[in-house]
Amino acid sequence: MWAKLRSHLAVKLFISYLVIIMIGLAVQVIVAEVAMPSAFQRHMANVGTGMGGMMGNGGARAMGFYDNFRAAVNEALVVAGVAALLAAIVVSLVIARRVVAPVESITHASQRIADGHYDHRVAAPQADPQAADEIGQLARAFNKMAERLEHTEQMRRDLLGDVSHELRTPLTAIKGSMEALEDGVLAAEPATFQRIQAEADRLQRLVDDLQELSRMEAGAYVLDRQPLAVDTLVQMARERVAPVYQQKRITLTAEVAPRLPPVFGDPDRLLQVLLNLLNNAAQYTPAGGAVCVEAKLVGHEVLMLVADNGVGISAEHIPHLFTRFYRVDKSRSRQAGGGSGIGLAIARHLVEAHGGRIWAESEGEGKGSTFTVALPVHQN
Ligand code: ADP
Over the stretch 107-144, which tens digit does the pLDDT of each residue have? Answer: 999 999 999 899 998 886 544 545 677 888 888 899 99
Determine contact, residues 63/47, Cβ cutoff 8 Å: no
pLDDT in tens, 203-250: 888 888 888 888 887 777 889 999 999 999 999 999 999 999 999 999
Query: Which residue owns the Cα nearest ligand 1 atom 18?
Result: 280
Percent over 90 (pLDDT), the chain: 44
Tell me how crowded residue 322 is: count the other CB atoms within 10 A of its CB: 21
Report the candidate in 284, 289, 275 with the shortest Cα–Cα distance to residue 373.
275
- Give residues with Cβ within 8 angstroms of 340, minimum separation 6: 162, 166, 206, 209, 325, 327, 333
- When mean pLDDT is compared over 112-116, 211-215, 345-349, 371-375, the highest value belongs to 371-375
| Residue 184 CA: distances (Å) to CA of 171, 179, 181, 195 | 20, 8, 5, 16
Answering whether pTM is above 0.75, one says: no
Average pLDDT over residues 346-371: 95
Kindly give the distance from the C-alpha atom of residue 198 to the centroid of ligand 1, in angstroms, as a whole number. Answer: 20
In angstroms, the CA 361 to CA 341 distance is 17
In angstroms, the CA 319 to CA 360 distance is 8
Confidence (pLDDT) at 13: 82
| DSSP letter (8 states) at residue 266 | -
To test ligand 1's pocket by mutation, which of 241, 305, 328 has the most ligand atoms within 8 angstroms of CB? 328
To test ligand 1's pocket by mutation, which of 206, 209, 291, 321 has the most ligand atoms within 8 angstroms of CB? 321
Q: Is 359 exposed, middle or buried (0-12, 13-18, 19+ CB in 10 A)?
A: middle
pLDDT at 181 over 50: yes
Higher pLDDT, 181 or 218: 181
Q: Is the CB of 192 under 6 A from ligand 1?
A: no
Confidence (pLDDT) at 337: 53
Kindly give the distance from the C-alpha atom of residue 318 to the centroid of ligand 1, in angstroms, as a whole number. Answer: 10
Confidence (pLDDT) at 319: 92
Tell me how crowded residue 249 is: count the other CB atoms within 10 A of its CB: 10
Q: Is the CB of 333 under 6 A from ligand 1?
A: yes
In angstroms, the CA 11 to CA 73 distance is 37
To test ligand 1's pocket by mutation, which of 272, 305, 316, 327 has the most ligand atoms within 8 angstroms of CB? 327
Query: Which residue owns the Cα nearest ligand 1 atom 21?
Result: 280
Kindly give the distance from the C-alpha atom of residue 341 to the centroid of ligand 1, in angstroms, as a whole number. Answer: 6
Higher pLDDT, 205 or 5: 205
Q: Is the CB of 289 under 6 A from ligand 1?
A: no
| Residue 3 CA: distances (Å) to CA of 12, 128, 132, 338 | 11, 11, 9, 56
- Give residues with Cβ within 8 angstroms of 19, minimum separation 6: 91, 95
Q: Is the CB of 343 under 6 A from ligand 1?
A: yes
Report the candidate in 95, 123, 126, 91 with the shortest Cα–Cα distance to residue 108.
123
In angstroms, the CA 249 to CA 286 distance is 9
Q: Is the CB of 368 under 6 A from ligand 1?
A: no
